[in-house]
């Protein structure tokens, strides 16, 4: 899929389906919050939520006192919805409308990189390489990376798009030696329609 098509796809999804009806919806991203809390260090941690969509992670980070959060997403519609939901608090979050595989992110700008259900859409190897290059550039040495994808028994598609499913070793293998594996977790997510989906979260440290 071309970059233009990827953006068009996600804009259409968020225009057509409400935040609470998308299959990946959870009222709160509990596992993500827990893993971020484990590694963030102080409340001044610079955290980027890549492909944040309309999730409430930014709300939950603000509620816990994190004042240096950034949300990046390819969909301007999703970003606008999240800003509306947050109201005045949206000004305490930095918003970037961009494709993570081509975004120009500042070197060493983040202490924590979080991605729930974005990396698995990168079915082309060159897109995964571009993604990992951006992580390696944007996260400072000693910082942490949390990536959540569908696990080996998760669905083969999400939002009508093919995904790549990973176990912990395979996912870590995509990132390479510069990223030291710290922890992995599996989670069964219930979609709003009631289906069970296996997710895998990997946490690693940038050496």
Ligand X SMILES: C[S@@+](CC[C@H](N)C(=O)[O-])C[C@H]1O[C@@H](n2cnc3c(N)ncnc32)[C@H](O)[C@@H]1O
Task: Catalog residues that contact ligand X under the rule CB under 6 A.
Answer: 6, 10, 24, 29, 51-53, 55, 73-75, 78, 99-101, 116-118, 121, 158
Q: CB-hemisphere CA count at 13 Å for 20?
A: 2
Please name the helix (run of DSSP H) or strand (run of DSSP E) that holds residue 165, with its range, or none.
none
Nearer to ligand X, 34 or 44 (CB): 34
Decide whether 5 or 207 has the Cβ nearer to ligand X.
5
How near is the Cβ of 170 to ligand X at its closest, in Å? 19
d(CA 172, CA 162) in angstroms, rounded, equals: 20
Q: Which value, in Å, is the radius of gyration of the alpha carbons in the chain?
A: 16
Taken in order 72, 28, 151, 37, the sign of the CA dihedral is: positive
Shortest Cβ 97–ligand X spacing (Å): 9
Decide whether 96 or 182 has the Cβ nearer to ligand X: 96
Least separation, in Å, of the C-beta of 207 and ligand X?
25
Rounded to the nearest whole angstrom, what is the least distance from the CB of residue 15 to ligand X in the complex?
12
Phi, psi dihedral angles at 165 (to 5 degrees): -95, 145
Task: Select 16 or 180, whichever has its Cβ closest to ligand X.
Answer: 16
Residue among 177, 169, 139, 140 nearest 152 (CA): 169
- Coarse DSSP helix, strand, coil percentages of the chain, rounded to the nearest 5 percent: 35, 30, 35
Please, what is the minimum distance in Å from the beta carbon of residue 161 to ligand X?
9
Based on CB atoms, which residue is closest to ligand X, 26 or 172? 26
| Residues 105 and 40 sit within 8 Å (Cβ to Cβ) | no
């Amino acid at each position: 899929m071309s970059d233009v098509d990827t953006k068009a796809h996600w804009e259409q999804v968020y225009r057509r389906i409400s935040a609470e009806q998308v299959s990946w919806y959870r009222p709160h991203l509990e596992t993500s919050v827990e893993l971020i809390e484990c590694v963030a260090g102080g409340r001044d941690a610079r955290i980027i939520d890549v492909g944040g969509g309309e999730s409430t992670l930014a709300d939950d980070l603000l509620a816990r006192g994190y004042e240096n959060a950034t949300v990046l997403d390819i969909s301007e519609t999703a970003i606008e919805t999240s800003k509306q939901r947050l109201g005045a608090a949206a000004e305490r979050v930095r918003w970037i409308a961009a494709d993570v595989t081509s975004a120009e992110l500042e070197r060493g700008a983040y202490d924590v990189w979080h991605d729930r259900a974005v990396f698995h859409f990168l079915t082309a190897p060159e897109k995964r390489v571009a993604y990992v290059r951006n992580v390696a550039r944007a996260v400072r040495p000693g910082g942490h990376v949390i990536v959540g994808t569908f696990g080996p028994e998760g669905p083969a598609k999400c939002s009508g798009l093919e995904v790549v499913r990973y176990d912990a070793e395979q996912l870590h293998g995509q990132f390479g030696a510069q990223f030291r594996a710290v922890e992995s977790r599996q989670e069964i997510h219930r979609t709003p329609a009631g289906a069970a989906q296996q997710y895998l979260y990997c946490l690693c440290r940038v050496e």
